């Protein structure tokens, strides 16, 4: 019997998707081979009366191979020459005039006395192909003019520029951006896109206005709060973002499980106050979490957290017990089925590897460093002294920070060419501060819809927490020897590291059980 078959199928699908992304694989011959093997395996089981367990294992292997084949086929289906055109490579660099519809929520990335710099993606509509990849637009707009919005169609006039970034491992990354000026750009139409996303993005902007109420003179705090609570990561100052990367704490800006936990906790408090029973919570949580995920840009980490939360509360509704590994596997399969190219997305990789690593490494570390005292099972447990309680909480925070460091360090080295020793301290500072910011921000949104004065108080408290977080990361990033640049490790080294980490976590769990 195969334990957690969803995990096996998910790994097979990921392997097939990875092969399809990196290798040219003949789909038809492989599909014929798998189909032929399935037929002969079935016939052999009938003719030879093969043992049930052995036959089931062969069938499971064929199903896994079929899922892997589906991953390869999905990549081929999404990379046909006529499937999509890439405007960013077909247009020459220099002056351009293009027409396109804004397909995401525009974000202010810089502020000037005369106006703002807006960043967003637009689907080009004056092309011969109707399925062109979106283009990054950076538009300078005067303060007195109406800002761009999702669904608007614009005629953009400006310069197309290609920025080439050289990695330490020799790989190059090209970022194509159209720098458009508001004076040479014009809105042609409004109200495009889907009505649901227009409403969701409008609510996101209203939430940003509430979170920044009365703290307009504290731009750094506003950017951190918006990035942390609403996913406006493009608002982050590059120097500040680099400080978080140097301290190994940049992961907190990915909309993920902690955001879902805080949001779901507030909703659950309200449901409990109204006397709604736990099995019915799913019907209230599902639309709220899905709306929040859509509003924050449908980041892979947010989609993963949303799907896992829905699976957990759906299991409660069906009187079943949720399993974190099966939920993680199902969410990975759903995201890759929607867009196989997400396998190369940094947010997808960091989110899934981090959650998987924390799931296997945190429990044994916490059990070893903050053990519960065993007492007589026939006596009521005695309350622990306050100092013991705080010591256990600090040790759990240390276990969480240590697990996060072991899991994220290789990926930080691979993608950011950075090895950080101060990440252990950085995570112990950032994790509780980020949680407090999310709680205070959520309360500010709830109160601010009724009364702005208490929301302003919460916003100022949030600004203090955000500035404390920023100053702490700047100090840690400047510590001598706290971090240094490294070459990207080979992918095989990463695989071997995580296999060894999983094996070590398993051994540690056995010792502490």
pLDDT at position 374: 43
> What's the rounded mean pLDDT across residues 381-388?
60
Distance, in Å, from the CA atom of 396 to the CA atom of 392, rounded to the nearest integer, reads 6
**Residues linked to residue 155 through DSSP beta bridges, in sequence order:** 99, 186
pLDDT at position 239: 87
pLDDT at position 464: 96
pLDDT exceeds 90 at position 270: no
> What's the rounded mean pLDDT across residues 125-129?
57
Which CATH code fits 87-193?
2.40.50.140
Are 426 and 400 in contact by the 8 Å Cβ rule? The answer is no
Neighbours of 239 (CB within 10 A): 9
Please choose, from the candidates 10, 4, 22, the residue with its C-alpha nearest in 3D space to the C-alpha of residue 70. Answer: 10
Higher confidence at residue 234 or residue 211? 211
pLDDT at position 56: 55
Residue 457's pLDDT band (cuts 50, 70, 90):
very high
Of 379-388, 402-411, 439-448, 455-464, the poorest mean pLDDT is in: 379-388
Are 462 and 441 in contact by the 8 Å Cβ rule? The answer is yes
pLDDT at position 379: 46
Backbone dihedral angles phi then psi of residue 111, each to the nearest 5 degrees: -120, 135
pLDDT at position 129: 45
Highest mean pLDDT among 1-5, 56-60, 109-113, 369-373: 109-113
DSSP letters for 158-212: EEEEEEEEE-TTS-EEEEEEEEEEGGG-EEEE---S-HHHHHHHHHHHHHHHHHT
Q: Specify the 3-state DSSP secondary structure of 387.
A: helix
Residue 385's pLDDT band (cuts 50, 70, 90):
low
What tens digit of pLDDT does each residue of 409-436 get? 888 888 878 888 888 888 889 988 988 9
Of 212-226, 277-291, 466-480, the poorest mean pLDDT is in: 277-291
pLDDT at position 172: 64
Give percent above pLDDT 70 in the chain: 76
Using the CB atoms, write b or e for 291-329: b if 16+ within 10 Å: bbbbbbbbbbbbbbbbbbbbbbbebeeeeeeebebbbbb
pLDDT exceeds 70 at position 295: yes
pLDDT at position 378: 40
Of 123-137, 154-168, 233-247, 266-280, the poorest mean pLDDT is in: 123-137
- Positive or negative torsion for Cα 497, 480, 173, 102: positive
pLDDT exceeds 80 at position 15: no
What tens digit of pLDDT does each residue of 80-121 get? 444 445 555 666 778 888 889 998 889 888 888 888 899 998
Q: What value does the mean pLDDT of the chain take?
A: 78
Distance, in Å, from the CA atom of 304 to the CA atom of 257, rounded to the nearest integer, reads 8
pLDDT exceeds 90 at position 498: no
Q: Where are the domains of the chain?
A: 5-78, 87-193, 220-371+386-512
**Residues linked to residue 142 through DSSP beta bridges, in sequence order:** 115
What tens digit of pLDDT does each residue of 389-411 get? 677 778 887 888 888 888 888 88
Are 310 and 327 in contact by the 8 Å Cβ rule? The answer is no
pLDDT at position 417: 82
pLDDT exceeds 80 at position 10: no
> What's the rounded mean pLDDT across residues 5-24?
71
Six-digit token string for 27: 């789909």
pLDDT at position 475: 93
Residues in the chain: 513
Paired sense of beta strands 135-142 and 172-181, if any: parallel
Please choose, from the candidates 398, 418, 397, the residue with its C-alpha nearest in 3D space to the C-alpha of residue 408. Answer: 418
Six-digit token string for 269: 């408090």
Give percent above pLDDT 90 in the chain: 13
Using the CB atoms, write b or e for 22-45: b if 16+ within 10 Å: eeeeeeeebeeebeeebeeeeeeb
pLDDT at position 83: 42
Higher confidence at residue 102 or residue 297? 102
Distance, in Å, from the CA atom of 71 to the CA atom of 21, rounded to the nearest integer, reads 9
């Amino acid at each position: 019997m195969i334990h957690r078959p969803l995990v096996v199928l998910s790994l097979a699908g990921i392997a097939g998707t990875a092969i399809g992304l990196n290798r040219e694989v003949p789909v038809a011959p492989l599909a014929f081979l798998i189909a032929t093997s399935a037929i002969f395996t079935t016939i052999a089981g009938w003719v030879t009366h093969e043992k049930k367990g052995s036959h089931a294992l062969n069938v499971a292997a064929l199903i896994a191979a079929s899922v892997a084949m589906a991953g390869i086929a999905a990549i081929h289906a999404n990379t046909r020459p006529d499937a999509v055109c890439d405007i960013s490579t077909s247009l020459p660099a220099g002056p351009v005039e293009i027409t396109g519809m804004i397909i995401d929520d525009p974000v202010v990335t810089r502020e000037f006395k005369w106006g703002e710099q807006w960043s967003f993606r637009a689907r080009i509509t004056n092309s011969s192909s109707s399925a062109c990849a979106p283009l990054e637009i950076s538009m300078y707009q005067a303060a007195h003019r109406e800002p761009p919005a999702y669904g608007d169609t614009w005629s953009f006039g400006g310069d197309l520029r290609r920025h080439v970034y050289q990695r330490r491992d020799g790989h190059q990354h090209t970022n194509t951006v159209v720098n458009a000026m508001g004076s040479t750009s014009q809105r042609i139409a409004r109200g495009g896109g889907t009505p649901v996303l227009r409403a969701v993005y409008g609510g996101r902007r209203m939430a940003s206005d509430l979170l920044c109420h009365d703290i307009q003179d504290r731009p750094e705090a506003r950017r951190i709060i918006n990035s942390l609570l609403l996913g406006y990561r493009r608002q982050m100052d590059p120097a500040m973002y680099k400080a978080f990367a140097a301290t190994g704490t940049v992961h907190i800006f990915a909309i993920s499980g902690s955001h879902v936990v805080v949001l779901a906790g507030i909703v659950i408090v309200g449901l409990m106050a109204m006397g709604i029973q736990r099995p019915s919570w799913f019907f209230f949580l599902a639309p709220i979490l899905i709306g929040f995920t859509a509003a924050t840009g449908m980041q892979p980490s947010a989609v993963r957290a949303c799907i896992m939360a829905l699976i957990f509360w759906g299991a409660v509704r069906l009187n079943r017990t949720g399993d974190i590994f099966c939920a993680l596997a199902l969410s990975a399969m759903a995201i890759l089925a929607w867009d196989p190219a997400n396998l190369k997305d940094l947010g997808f990789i960091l989110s899934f590897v981090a959650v998987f690593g924390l799931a296997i490494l945190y429990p044994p570390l916490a059990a070893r460093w903050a053990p519960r005292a065993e007492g007589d099972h026939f006596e009521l447990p005695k309350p622990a002294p306050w100092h013991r309680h705080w010591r256990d909480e600090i040790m759990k925070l240390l276990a969480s920070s240590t697990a996060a460091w072991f899991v994220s360090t290789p990926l930080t080295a691979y993608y950011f060419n950075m090895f950080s020793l101060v990440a252990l301290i950085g995570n112990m500072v950032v994790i509780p501060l980020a949680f407090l910011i999310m709680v205070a921000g959520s309360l500010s949104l709830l109160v601010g819809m009724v009364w702005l004065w208490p929301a302003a108080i919460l916003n100022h408290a949030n600004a203090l927490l955000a500035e404390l977080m920023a100053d702490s990361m700047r100090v840690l990033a400047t510590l001598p020897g706290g971090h240094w640049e490294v070459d990207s490790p080979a992918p095989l080294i990463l695989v071997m590291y995580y296999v060894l980490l999983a094996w070590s976590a398993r051994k540690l769990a056995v010792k502490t059980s």
